[in-house]
Structure 1
């Protein structure tokens, strides 16, 4: 918050004179502008004031000019500066303006204080300000630091800063009051996929625990287990260290293992997240992946081991995390992998050394329609570029389920290129609650092995899903339910996903 004092002294005589003049001449223009009390570079102060000779005299223009002058002073160590319009004199159709500037003391930052933090360590919050004691006061840097604090997930609210002035030392203490958020989450989801024909229905499940502010240090730890169908399960572990090596970058690592119908995939990676701008971030990653087919998969795919390096760029221009009402989110990724394939007892790969590339693009747009009504559309796409005629199952991209194409089983469609769109009409019930209708569309392109003389065949799949969902805040946490219908489904044959997310 900027500490500003604006004093505008306009005499009753001046107002009466201008009123009489307006009857004879509808336009009064600015003549000369006088500055008193200015010790800084006067040319720069006049540029900030921006009241040029010959422009129409306008109260709003004067107020904005004075505000810019105060901003100019605040950026140069004068947070208590004041500007007053001391006199206005009419000379024909021109007005001579006089401004008096009280600069006040030029101060430095003497102390940094945090209030309201019960869990988070003060130094964790203060380092995000990126301001040090002894520096000259600069409102631009303070505003930038406050925006950094607002984007921390473990802070629910950041109040405007306060200043405490020490006249003996000519310093100010910058005091920041915050309200901490419940940064830890435990998410449990149970889904049911009804049977089709002679195939029995089955349950799916997810348990996801995330600690977003471990011991008040800002460190993040995540552990997730997921069961997508009777033959598919997954575990995932992640750790993230903020401000690694004393710089505003986050370093971390992940480990995961996927059990699928015909193979087991193990992956480990390390990454480095870095800021580009306040809303634009990047990630560099390096990982190792291994896929081992089981007895059934050994007929269809080789053993493989890969080193993968990647770059991801993200932009978040929305107005919130949970229920955005406006703005756009963008992300794009590119990975390069060097893979070594090994033959199994029943399968010989067409390529032993493979250079694979993966690309991804995601766009999410939020627009407020009316009060508590939001339109959302998401566009997503991914592709794998490989010299292999048929891509192994472990390298394919998968589509279907609660996080992509709703109304279909998790990872129901696999291919080398996928794309999907999610369209929602949302009615917001609270900061974390909403009901919505959705319409999803998905596309999948794949090359599959045909008969020996035919080679690979190309398969394209288009699908549409639709349904409704709800997210409600309760004492148990955020309860969510999605009901989706796919092609050919009756009203009682939809896919149901029910979840509870508890924060602590």
Structure 2
């Protein structure tokens, strides 16, 4: 029978030490312990214990096999006392480390130095780490390290190109949020690639590379493969005696002429008694700043008696690719019968709305994992009929959460939850929260349930063949 090994250490348990040594629990002879112990010493050194040692070995008999107890001492940790950064053309300075000195701490200091040099125009700088001295203390061993910097040649970025892209390079660069002085930073470049991959019209982003562009100049090439985001969807139905057809039609242009502009047209008429159209347009990156303008026109007819027309102008500020602040002003006109006093009564309203959203979904369309939170609040002023506005008449509060989690294979669990409330005097049917149907809770007729306040949630099990389908 092979013998069993048990590790003992004041700072680590047996499972952790066994994992660091390679995972084996048994051995047939003492020579087989050499390789696991070497792995263990190396792993402990990386965590700041380069002086770890084997204190004692106890061999005891147990059924069904023997047990070898290995007692490991981590000794004193090594800490950085003084780290000196210097080199030709580099101002000498000192750096410090947090806690035990290990490979990860040294690498973080080196990465910071290389990032500084890249920002200064020296993307191919090299750093050599040289131990200077060791000083033994009562609780730890302290060392001095010399970080010697060889800056290399001075390089400037001439242009950022996106081979294979149809979209304007200016827009892709704005969406990547990559500035010229950050192009040589590996971390900033990886973040820029992630931002591009989240765009709805981008299918694939290749590995960035540099090409010479003259003496001391380089171009940054980021290959991009785009996909079509224009969509046409809908359903129509009719029957003898029903008159006009029912259904819905949605037309979406997601990247007009490669400019990132969006245009949507929707005709919604699944409910025979309520039909309408919605047209919206989005202008991105106004004056090359993270401001986006949104224009909307909406017209509804309900029971052939009440009509509602809304004009909306909105602004979105996107300080990062995850956070969006929004504000909008809406002019609304409601006229006709129904619950409005008199068939000739016209109600005119102004809505002012503000909101914030935080998006951690990996893809804005058909996500695999992450979440998105949205909160908005609106105040309305209304005139017409018996309503004489002298203050805020109406309030509307909305909160929503979407989340996605990957399951087995191509299966994805997608959840949506929303809460909405409308309050105030003079509320009419057009102000009510309407839910039911494909946009909220499936299994109910479209917008079949009106209410002043409502909350709903859906959980979907999606099969995702690719990024475009589920």
Which category of TM-score, normalised to the shorter sequence, fits these structures? 0.7 to 0.9
Pick aligned residue for 1:374 from 412, 424, 430: 412
Q: Give yes or no for the alignment of 1:413 onto 2:449.
A: yes
Pick aligned residue for 1:114 from 148, 162, 173: 162
- Ranges in structure 1 where 5+ consecutive residues have no aligned partner: 1-14, 194-198, 343-348, 434-470, 472-504
SS of 1:174's equivalent? strand
Q: Give yes or no for the alignment of 1:43 onto 2:55.
A: no
Between the aligned partners of 2:229 and 2:318, the Cα distance in structure 1 is 21
Kept in 1, the 8 Å contact 2:162–2:169? The answer is yes
Gap change, CA 1:306 and 1:30, over 3 Å in 2: closer
Pick aligned residue for 1:29 from 73, 78, 101: 78
Between the aligned partners of 1:40 and 1:51, the Cα distance in structure 2 is 24
Show the counterpart of 1:489. none
Q: Give yes or no for the alignment of 1:150 onto 2:192.
A: no
Pick aligned residue for 1:263 from 301, 306, 310: 306
What count of residue pairs does the alignment treat as equivalent?
395
Matches for 1:240-279 after TM superposition, within 5 Å:
240-261=282-303, 262-279=305-322
Q: Deviations over 1:353-406 (max 9, x none)?
A: 372111111012223344444333322111112123xx2112211121111122
Q: Give yes or no for the alignment of 1:395 onto 2:431.
A: yes
Show the counterpart of 1:69. 113
Pick aligned residue for 2:423 from 373, 382, 385: 385
TM-score, length of structure 2 as denominator length: 0.72
Matches for 1:447-486 after TM superposition, within 5 Å:
471=470
- Ranges in structure 2 where 5+ consecutive residues have no aligned partner: 1-41, 56-72
Show the counterpart of 2:250. 208
* Structure with bigger RCO (C-alpha 8 Å, 6+ apart): 1
Pick aligned residue for 2:230 from 166, 184, 193: 184
Gap change, CA 1:88 and 1:23, over 3 Å in 2: farther
Kept in 1, the 8 Å contact 2:347–2:382? The answer is yes
Show the counterpart of 2:376. 333
Between the aligned partners of 2:52 and 2:440, the Cα distance in structure 1 is 68
1:216 shift after superposition: 1.7
Pick aligned residue for 1:238 from 276, 280, 297: 280
Between the aligned partners of 2:91 and 2:409, the Cα distance in structure 1 is 48
Kept in 2, the 8 Å contact 1:236–1:257? The answer is yes
SS of 1:43's equivalent? strand
Show the counterpart of 2:219. 173
Between the aligned partners of 1:428 and 1:147, the Cα distance in structure 2 is 21
Q: Deviations over 1:269-292 (max 9, x none)?
A: 111121133201122211211111
Pick aligned residue for 1:356 from 373, 394, 398: 394
Kept in 1, the 8 Å contact 2:290–2:318? The answer is yes
SS of 2:223's equivalent? strand
SS of 1:398's equivalent? strand
SS of 1:321's equivalent? coil
TM-score, length of structure 1 as denominator length: 0.68
SS of 1:314's equivalent? strand
Gap change, CA 1:78 and 1:289, over 3 Å in 2: same
Show the counterpart of 2:10. none
Between the aligned partners of 1:387 and 1:295, the Cα distance in structure 2 is 17
1:432 shift after superposition: 3.9
Between the aligned partners of 1:311 and 1:149, the Cα distance in structure 2 is 27
Gap change, CA 1:300 and 1:425, over 3 Å in 2: farther
Kept in 1, the 8 Å contact 2:271–2:447? The answer is no
- Larger CA deviation: 287-296 vs 230-239: 287-296
Gap change, CA 1:73 and 1:190, over 3 Å in 2: farther
Between the aligned partners of 1:127 and 1:96, the Cα distance in structure 2 is 43
Between the aligned partners of 1:295 and 1:71, the Cα distance in structure 2 is 66
Gap change, CA 1:378 and 1:271, over 3 Å in 2: same
